[in-house]
Structure 1
């Protein structure tokens, strides 16, 4: 599969470009970025071509991997789908519901395959744990904490990007948490109107707390932050139900290995015609839930 890359930021440089370059089943066709000099530097580092025009990259590719801020990612992904390119997107697919639906509709209309890179879903131990808990059922409640120190005092994280500073933990790590909980506890229940049964409250800095009611009858709580003290960071998920308690496996492969599994998933989905569980429709639904949480936060402001 010929795959081009949209984006030149830290995630593109650390994961996407080396992952595409090293994958034995992929031809890394080239790089486009909003900064041409950065696109050239990244392309040169991986022995591929820099493109000035994203549509030219689409024309030379079977698929595109995207490592761009969500507001930029969504319209370009829709253009790529209209050009017939399969989509390997980052999370969140968008921070506006209409943008997320634009991409999902474009993928459905053109029949291209799509995978959203929710990193944890491509860690083998985590994926196996999710499948096991979903099959077991009988869960009463879940608790998740996704805590980072990206914007904590003294941090020099390369991920302290403008869009993360603007949108905060809800939109950066919230998608990861939902990608783990939803397959196990079921979708978030509707509220009888156009939204979901979500309660939200603010904590320190960008920290947010969510309470979710799931269609299965279970409830869950989430604490999300990019500003905890470095020693307090980490991701945990705990489930309690008729089988007792179980927790998300810790550790596992690095992001680069997970990204290469996401490439495998896209190749498989494109070849088989069977949608991947983390396709753009699922990604768009995650955006809908997070938008409802954001609205709930606004109501309590």
Structure 2
């Protein structure tokens, strides 16, 4: 499968480019970016073509991987799907429900495969744990914390405009939801959403299985407090999401595996654009409640 990369920022460089270049079932074909000089630099590093016209890249590939801000991603994903290209996307799918739905509808019309890279869902130990807990059932409640320290000099994402504007809800909220939904079922209602310090938010979710969960999200936690934890409590006892020693590149390679398989078989992956749209809907619901909290 020939695949092109859209994006030249820190995430494209750290995760996407090395994962695509090192994948045995992909032919890393080229790079397009909003900054042509950065596209040339990244393309030269991997010995591929730099494109100054995204439509020209679409014409030369079977699939695209997108490492761009979500508002930019949604528009380009629709265009790529319309060109018949399979989609390896990042979370969040979009910053609005209408934009996310447009991606899903474009992929369905073109009958192309889509996989959205929720990192934890493609790390081997967490992936196995999620499947095991989903099969166990009987969960009473869950507690999820996704705490980062992004806006520091050491972080490659400190200057990210969309993260500064949208905060933890939209950046790490998708990670928490991607773990909770397959285990506890869809969210019937975001029962509460309140602000904490800086960009920190606290959510209470009611799930279709009758379980409830609480979620704490932050990009502005003290570095010593940063980390991600999920705890489940139910009839089977108490269990914690295992930590993964894997970085983003191996997980992204598995996401690429999933895209290749979905494209070959025509079977949807659980982390496809439709799932990511559901996450976007829930984030939007929470954002609405947070706006009322401010008022």
Q: Does the CA contact (< 8 Å) of 1:74 and 1:100 recur in 2?
A: yes
Q: Does the CA contact (< 8 Å) of 1:81 and 1:107 recur in 2?
A: yes
Secondary structure at 1:103 match in 2: helix
Q: Take 2:89 and 2:24, find their aligned partners in 1: how far apart are those partners?
A: 20
Q: Take 1:180 and 1:197, find their aligned partners in 2: how far apart are those partners?
A: 16
Instruction: Provide TM-score, normalisation by structure 2.
Output: 0.98
Secondary structure at 1:29 match in 2: strand
**Residue 271, structure 1, aligned to residue 264, structure 2:** yes
Q: After TM superposition, what 4+ stretches of structure 1 lie above 4 angstroms from structure 2?
A: none
Q: Does the CA contact (< 8 Å) of 2:198 and 2:220 recur in 1?
A: yes
Displacement, 1:198? 3.3
Q: Does the CA contact (< 8 Å) of 1:30 and 1:43 recur in 2?
A: yes
Aligned position for 1:217? 210
Displacement, 1:197? 3.2
Q: Take 1:88 and 1:159, find their aligned partners in 2: how far apart are those partners?
A: 21
Gaps of 5+ in 2: none
Aligned position for 2:84? 84
Q: Take 1:71 and 1:156, find their aligned partners in 2: how far apart are those partners?
A: 25
**Aligned residue-pair number:** 293
Instruction: Provide TM-score, normalisation by structure 1.
Output: 0.96
Q: Determine which of 154, 157, 162 is the counterpart of 2:155.
A: 157
Q: Take 1:236 and 1:255, find their aligned partners in 2: how far apart are those partners?
A: 17
- Structural mapping, 1:4-43, within 5 Å: 4-43=4-43
**Residue 120, structure 1, aligned to residue 120, structure 2:** yes
Aligned position for 1:296? 289
Aligned position for 2:145? 145
Gaps of 5+ in 1: 190-195
Aligned position for 1:253? 246
Aligned position for 2:108? 108
Q: Does the CA contact (< 8 Å) of 1:198 and 1:292 recur in 2?
A: no
Calculate the aligned-residue CA RMSD, in Å: 0.7
Q: Does the CA contact (< 8 Å) of 2:123 and 2:244 recur in 1?
A: no
